[in-house]
């Protein structure tokens, strides 16, 4: 089992291999990331068949765009997850009737707003969240990012970090409490 740093480098290597047209690297990348990406797509589109179709589109896009990945700008799973998210949102948009309005809260949340003031507020809140994340220890921040930005479950975290499940849950709970305090009080 690879630790987080080794997994990170492994994914970077496979993406670089894909950029070179290496089909074996593509296969290894698929095996290493498809479960996470499928789960993410399933949360977005809420339909197994659609999530499978979207996953296929994600990997087609990866094959064609792997040369655009820049390890200095994003972690590999962040880049892959962004592709998956965008494809999932595109699928949702195609399902929405063009002449009807929707009050689907999930789609509205994923798509954002057209209101520049709301976008500005969201940007400020994201900045505050980043500042609060910076107050966490490196270990706590890593756990929070893996859980909430990469979508890993507590069990997956415990397994990948070779730590007891109860400890991982406690660390995340304490991290969330610290973030809540920081976001509420501006500390």
Q: What pLDDT digit, counting tens, does each position of 143-181 carry?
A: 877 777 666 778 878 887 888 988 888 888 888 888 888
3 three-class SS: coil
CATH of the domain at 136: 1.10.10.10
Cα–Cα nearest to 83, from 67, 102, 108, 65:
65
Cα 183 from Cα 185, distance rounded (Å): 6
Query: Which residue's structure tokens are 């998956």?
Result: 84
Q: For the chain, how many residues are written?
A: 187
Non-local (6+) Cβ contacts of 103 within 8 A are: none
User: How many CB atoms are closer than 10 A to CB 29?
Assistant: 24
Distances (CA, A) of 76 to 23, 26, 103, 123, 125: 18, 14, 34, 23, 25
Q: What pLDDT digit, counting tens, does each position of 77-111 carry?
A: 999 999 999 999 889 888 865 444 444 555 555 55
Query: Which residue's structure tokens are 């994600």?
Result: 58
Q: Are residues 50 and 111 in the same domain?
A: no
Cα 136 from Cα 117, distance rounded (Å): 29
Non-local (6+) Cβ contacts of 124 within 8 A are: none
Domain boundary, last residue among 34, 69, 97: 97
Q: Are residues 82 and 16 in the same domain?
A: yes
Q: What is the pLDDT of residue 113?
A: 46
Q: Are residues 114 and 158 in the same domain?
A: yes
What b/e string do you get for 75-97 counting C-beta neighbours within 10 Å, with b at 16 or more?
bbbebbbebbbbbbbebbeeeee
Q: Are residues 117 and 79 in the same domain?
A: no
Q: Are residues 65 and 153 in the same domain?
A: no
Tell me which of 56 and 131 has the higher pLDDT.
56
Over residues 12-40, mean pLDDT: 95
Domain boundary, last residue among 71, 97, 123: 97
pLDDT of residue 42 exceeding 70 = yes
Q: Are residues 64 and 112 in the same domain?
A: no
Q: What is the mean pLDDT of the chain?
A: 81
pLDDT of residue 125 exceeding 80 = no
Over residues 37-63, mean pLDDT: 93
Q: Are residues 91 and 121 in the same domain?
A: no
Q: What is the pLDDT of residue 5?
A: 87
Q: What is the pLDDT of residue 172?
A: 85
Query: Which residue's structure tokens are 């630790």?
Result: 3
Non-local (6+) Cβ contacts of 180 within 8 A are: none
Domain count, the chain: 2
- Give me the domain span that covers residue 53: 1-97
């Amino acid at each position: 089992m690879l630790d987080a740093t080794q997994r990170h480098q492994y994914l970077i290597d496979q993406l670089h291999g894909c950029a070179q047209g290496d089909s074996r690297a593509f296969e290894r990348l698929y095996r290493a990331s498809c479960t996470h990406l499928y789960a993410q797509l399933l949360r977005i589109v809420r339909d197994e068949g659609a999530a499978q179709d979207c996953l296929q589109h994600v990997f087609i896009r990866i094959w064609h765009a792997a040369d655009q990945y820049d390890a200095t700008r994003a972690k590999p799973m962040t880049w892959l997850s962004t592709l998956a998210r965008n494809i999932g949102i595109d699928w949702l948009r195609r399902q929405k009737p063009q002449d009807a309005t929707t009050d689907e809260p999930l789609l509205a949340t994923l798509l954002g707003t057209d209101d520049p003031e709301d976008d500005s507020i969201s940007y400020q809140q994201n900045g505050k969240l980043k500042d609060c994340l910076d107050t966490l220890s490196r270990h706590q921040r890593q756990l929070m990012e893996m859980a909430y930005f990469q979508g890993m479950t507590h069990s997956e975290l415990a397994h990948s970090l070779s730590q007891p499940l109860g400890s991982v849950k406690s660390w995340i709970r304490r991290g969330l409490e610290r973030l809540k305090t920081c976001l509420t009080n501006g500390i």
